[in-house]
Amino acid sequence: MGEAVGLNKAPLARGLNPLLRGARDEKFARDIVELLARLSQDMPPGLASELEALGEKLLWLREEGKVKINHSAMELVCAKELLLLGYKVDVEHDIDGLACDVYAWANGTDLVVEIETGFVPPDHALDPLRYLRARIASKIARYGCLADGFALGLPPHYVALIPSAFLKGGEERSEEELLALKELCDYYYHKPPVSLDELRSARLDWVFIIDVDALSTTILRPSIYQEAVRAFLKASGTLA
């Protein structure tokens, strides 16, 4: 997998201007249309049309109050990269009752990308690191079993705390590691709780660094991302 190239601004997307009229959230609609125009300017027409269809889906989902702009923008930047790599792509794709942010498939294999922005709700203002560590762990556990491959999609301004157990294969994760992860997840997520089987079988294959400003996606191995995170935490004096 490769690295996308940053792009400049362009006129509004060709087929989506009519959707601006009557949109409940006009700012969301304008942002999506502008982003699509910038993303699609150097794409083959067929792939650009596929990307615009994803944007149209997000616009309709916004009308139903089901999506927000920060996730949607990252989904489209990620989708462009996957389309250029030869995948078919869907957004907010349902698998077994879970809505996957980005779902891609090609040559008989599929991939789920779950986007995390690092948002901390006010209820967890006093335990943000523990909350985010649990959120990442639960996302990997719940979504890392749904497809042949799984990736976390992260913005470059968020330093995600990925539990080290997920850098190993499921058979290499100790019972002690799994129980510690379950205790962490259960503290925040219990409707339904994350199971030990999910924690054992979940996979993390890639970390996608999705830069909306630059319209680029950089794809890293989790171990490479973890090395950079550890170096940052060590330099900042923060415990991982």
* pLDDT tens-digit readout, 35-93: 999 999 999 999 999 999 999 999 999 999 999 999 999 999 999 999 999 999 999 99
Residue 8 lies in a domain: no
**Is the confidence at residue 18, as pLDDT, over 60?**
no
Checking if the pLDDT of 12 tops 70, the result is no
Residue-averaged pLDDT of the chain: 91
Dist CA 69 CA 76 (whole Å) = 10
- Output the pLDDT for position 25: 81
Using pLDDT thresholds of 50, 70 and 90, give the confidence band for residue 3. very low
Assess if residue 6 is contained within a domain. no
Residue numbers of the domain that contains 42:
17-236
Q: Is residue 7 part of a domain?
A: no
DSSP H helices in the chain? 17-20, 26-40, 45-63, 69-84, 128-143, 175-188, 196-201, 222-236
Query: Residue 239 phi/psi, 5° resolution?
Result: -80, 135
pLDDT at 2 over 50: no
Indicate the residue type of 133: R
- Least Cα distance to 93 among 84, 82, 41 occurs for 82
User: Which two three-digit tokens encode residue 232?
Assistant: 């940052």
Taking the CA of residue 108 as centre, how many other CA atoms within 13 Å lie in the half-sphere pointing to its CB?
Answer: 0
In a domain, residue 55? The reply is yes
| pLDDT tens string 158-187 | 999 999 999 999 999 999 999 999 999 999
Terminal-to-terminal C-alpha distance of the chain:
28
Residue 69 counted as domain residue: yes
Half-sphere exposure of residue 175: CA atoms within 13 angstroms, side-chain side: 0
Q: Is the dihedral angle over the CA atoms 182, 185, 190, 194 positive or is it negative? A: negative
- Structural domains counted in the chain: 1
Residue found by looking up tokens 């170096």 in the block: 231
69-84 and 45-63 helices, crossing angle to 10°: 160
Give me the pLDDT at residue 9, please.
36
Alpha-carbon radius of gyration of the chain:
18
Q: Which residues contact 112 (CB under 8 A, 6 or more apart)?
A: 95, 100, 101, 102, 103, 143, 144, 146, 147, 149, 150, 151
Q: What is the per-residue pLDDT for 59?
A: 93
Q: What value does the mean pLDDT take over residues 95-120?
A: 97
Interior/surface letters 164-179, b for 16+ CB within 10 angstroms, e for the rest: ebbeeebeebeeebbe
In a domain, 10, yes or no: no
Residue among 47, 54, 50 at smallest CA distance from 32: 54
pTM to 2 decimal places:
0.90
Residue 1 pLDDT more than 80? no
| 175 is a domain residue | yes
Q: Tell whether 118 is covered by a domain.
A: yes
